[in-house]
Structure 1
């Protein structure tokens, strides 16, 4: 991913602490919305909205779209690149 793509999405992610916290919690793993909600400290229905928003912006993908419960989410390469960029520039 080039730096322009990362920076274009970085502002969007940083405009919401929830978006950033969700991406950080998912990291390189796979998470379900209820676990994310518990970690971030908000209701599951709000996390579902955040995840849908992140998905529309190509930052997360749902691995089992047809599931009504236990949906699995993981970060896209773009999201991982954003997290890496933040980690590198945080020092």
Structure 2
């Protein structure tokens, strides 16, 4: 199993909230505010989790240059992580 996948599985298994955020993105492209409403996780925490997931290449931001209205999408690695947990 490749290192990136193992690290992704580890980061998700350490935090149920990160798993919930990642699973939310598995249903489509979303803004942090929508993820927050769907999951009942505060927008502050959703934003922090998205940053950490992005650092591990589990999600990508589609419009990084926007200050508001950023859209996030799960990556293929993120989908593979979900299959293994």
Work out the number of aligned pairs and report it.
Answer: 84
Provide runs of 4+ in structure 1 moved above 6 Å: none
Q: What root-mean-square deviation, in Å, do the aligned CA atoms of Structure 1 and Structure 2 show?
A: 1.4
Q: Which residue of 2 aligns with 1:81?
A: 80
Residue 76 of structure 1: CA displacement? 1.1
Name structure 1 gaps, 5 residues minimum. Answer: 87-91
Distance 1:23 1:34 in 2: 14
List alignment gaps of at least 5 residues for structure 2. none
Say if 2:66 is the partner of 1:58: no
Q: 1:37-73: per-residue Cα shift (whole Å, max 9, x none)?
A: 1112121111111100111111110000011111000
4-13 or 29-38, which deviates more:
4-13
Contact 2:9 2:84 in 1 (8 A): no
- Residue aligning to 1:16: 15
